[in-house]
């Protein structure tokens, strides 16, 4: 495997990972503005005072940011949902619109920023924090990339893409998932890294290249390694946790900038491995021990395998939120909780084509999020509200 450092990359040195005090102040100002009263939210969208406290407020009271995915189509086509998002969420992230393959029209450099801009502008205009998801993901890489001739071409395409996307929102984004899902112990490498086009053509240094380029392109953004299946008590998840910790240590040793770990947390209330609060706590404290912050980035709870009766499913889903969040929020390095959607009206789990895996055998629609398809709060909302209310105070990050 060829692990040379890319010749076309100008700022390989670890010095690139130091951010200035100014950048830090700017990002803190963005966060504080978003944690605040929502002053930028138009009056027509503000909540009635009779409603229960919003998740964003309960989270902010503890130094946490709570957020959700949104899509450009929802912003332009679902005003009732938008109103709920602005009431409940202090942060938004594009569910798909910032993914390379989704933006790309089919040729190198030909990207459509329209839908991504719709989401970014929505966040800026409403004083909501913006998260970036994601700069590189093996699952959403444009097909022309796979036809590039050699390592050098691939590296320059990766650098071009990151400069263009992260550079476009420079100074305005809280954090970027730079590489999404880089770990796959089942691929059999001793370091647990996922094999595939990036690793095979560029070697493990593709990660360093991506994070250095992201830092250069937006020095204020927190740079995140986002990973899934690291939450539960199972040998394959333990292997993924171990590989992730090794990757983080390796990046830190070589001066590669990384600020946070994203824990996706796509959970199930009835299927899959057991949850152990102590296993999760230990893992989170190991990450914190590296000086990194933690973001829960894609929380939702599938109910496949749970009984059909709605009240039973809702209770099981809510209990899963409680168990997970109670343990996760014990760790003060956890600074953010993002649910992968806010209402069951818009969830990838409820769209069969995007989640065949978690489709209920009885064909009943899943109920994975805090609000139902009619935008009414469910027991999962109450579970989240309670978890935020009882969470220890932390410094925002």
Q: Cis peptide before 54, with omega less than 30 degrees from 0?
A: no
- Show the tokens assigned to 316: 């099981």
Output 283 or 348, the one with its CB closest to ligand XIL: 348
Output 95 or 155, the one with its CB closest to ligand XIL: 95
Output 53 or 73, the one with its CB closest to ligand XIL: 73
CB atoms within 10 A of CB 251: 20
Smallest distance, ligand XIL to C-beta of residue 120, A: 17
Give the footprint of ligand XIL on this chain (CB under 6 A).
95-96, 180, 264, 298, 348, 354
Smallest distance, ligand XIL to C-beta of residue 379, A: 23
CB atoms within 10 A of CB 372: 18
**Nearest Cα to 291, choosing from 265, 313, 260?**
260
Q: Which helix (H) or strand (E) holds 137?
A: strand 129-137
- Show the tokens assigned to 198: 């990036």
Calpha distance 241→360 (Å, rounded):
29
**Nearest Cα to 375, choosing from 74, 64, 127, 92?**
74
Smallest distance, ligand XIL to C-beta of residue 94, A: 9
345 and 352 Cβ atoms separated by less than 8 Å: no
Smallest distance, ligand XIL to C-beta of residue 298, A: 6
130 and 177 Cβ atoms separated by less than 8 Å: no
Helices (H), the chain: 21-35, 55-60, 72-77, 79-88, 100-103, 114-125, 143-146, 151-168, 197-202, 205-217, 235-253, 277-289, 310-329, 379-390
Output 155 or 300, the one with its CB closest to ligand XIL: 300
Output 126 or 264, the one with its CB closest to ligand XIL: 264
Output 300 or 331, the one with its CB closest to ligand XIL: 300
Find where tokens 């938004």 sit: 92
Calpha distance 171→218 (Å, rounded):
6
Output 192 or 341, the one with its CB closest to ligand XIL: 341
Pairing of the two strands 334-339 and 222-227: unpaired
Instruction: Return the bridge partners of 293, or none.
Output: 260
Output 17 or 296, the one with its CB closest to ligand XIL: 296
Calpha distance 347→298 (Å, rounded):
11
Output 285 or 354, the one with its CB closest to ligand XIL: 354
Smallest distance, ligand XIL to C-beta of residue 329, A: 22
Calpha distance 149→54 (Å, rounded):
52
Smallest distance, ligand XIL to C-beta of residue 61, A: 28
Output 101 or 156, the one with its CB closest to ligand XIL: 101
**Nearest Cα to 68, choosing from 392, 375, 339?**
339
Smallest distance, ligand XIL to C-beta of residue 340, A: 6
Smallest distance, ligand XIL to C-beta of residue 99, A: 7
Q: Which residue is nearest to ligand XIL (CB)?
A: 348
Smallest distance, ligand XIL to C-beta of residue 221, A: 17
Calpha distance 240→193 (Å, rounded):
9
Cα dihedral 178, 112, 89, 376 sign: negative
Torsion angle of C-alpha atoms 262, 88, 345, 350, degrees rounded to 10: 20
Calpha distance 379→394 (Å, rounded):
26
Phi, psi of 230 (to 5 degrees): -125, 15
Smallest distance, ligand XIL to C-beta of residue 354, A: 4
Smallest distance, ligand XIL to C-beta of residue 95, A: 5
Output 74 or 256, the one with its CB closest to ligand XIL: 74
């Amino acid at each position: 495997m060829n692990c040379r450092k890319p010749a076309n990359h100008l700022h390989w040195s670890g010095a690139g990972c130091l951010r200035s005090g100014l950048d830090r102040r700017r990002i803190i100002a963005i966060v504080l503005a978003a944690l605040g009263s929502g002053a930028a939210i138009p009056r027509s969208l503000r909540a009635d005072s009779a409603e229960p406290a919003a998740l964003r407020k309960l989270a902010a009271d503890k130094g946490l940011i709570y957020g959700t995915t949104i899509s450009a189509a929802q912003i332009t086509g679902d005003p009732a949902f938008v109103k709920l998002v602005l009431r409940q969420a202090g942060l938004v992230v594009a569910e798909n619109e910032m993914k390379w393959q989704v933006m790309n029209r089919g040729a190198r450099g030909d990207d459509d920023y329209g839908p991504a801009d719709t989401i970014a502008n929505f966040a800026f205009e409403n004083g909501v924090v913006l998260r970036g998801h994601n700069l590189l993901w093996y699952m959403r890489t444009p097909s022309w990339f796979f036809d590039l001739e050699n390592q050098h071409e691939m590296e320059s395409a990766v650098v071009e893409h990151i400069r263009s996307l992260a550079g476009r929102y420079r100074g305005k984004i809280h954090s970027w998932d730079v590489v999404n899902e880089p770990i796959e112990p089942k691929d059999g490498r001793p370091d647990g890294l996922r094999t595939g086009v990036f690793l095979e053509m560029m070697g493990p240094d593709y990660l360093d290249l991506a994070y250095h380029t992201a830092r250069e392109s937006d020095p204020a953004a927190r740079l995140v390694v986002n990973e899934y299946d690291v939450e539960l008590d199972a040998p394959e998840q333990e292997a993924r946790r171990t590989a992730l910790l090794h990757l983080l240590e390796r990046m830190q040793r070589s001066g590669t900038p990384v600020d946070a770990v994203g824990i996706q947390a796509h959970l199930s209330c009835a299927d899959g491995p057991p949850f152990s609060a102590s296993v999760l706590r230990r893992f989170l404290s190991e990450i914190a021990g590296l000086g990194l912050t933690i973001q829960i980035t894609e929380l939702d709870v599938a109910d496949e395998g749970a009984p059909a009766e709605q009240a039973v499913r809702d209770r099981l889903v809510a209990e899963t939120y409680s168990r997970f969040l109670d343990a996760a929020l014990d760790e003060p390095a956890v600074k953010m909780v993002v649910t992968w959607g806010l209402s069951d009206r818009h969830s990838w789990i409820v769209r069969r084509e995007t989640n065949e895996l978690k489709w209920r055998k009885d064909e009943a629609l899943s109920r994975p999020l805090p609000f139902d398809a009619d935008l009414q709060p469910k027991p999962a909302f109450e579970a989240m509200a309670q978890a935020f209310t009882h969470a220890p105070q932390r410094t925002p990050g």
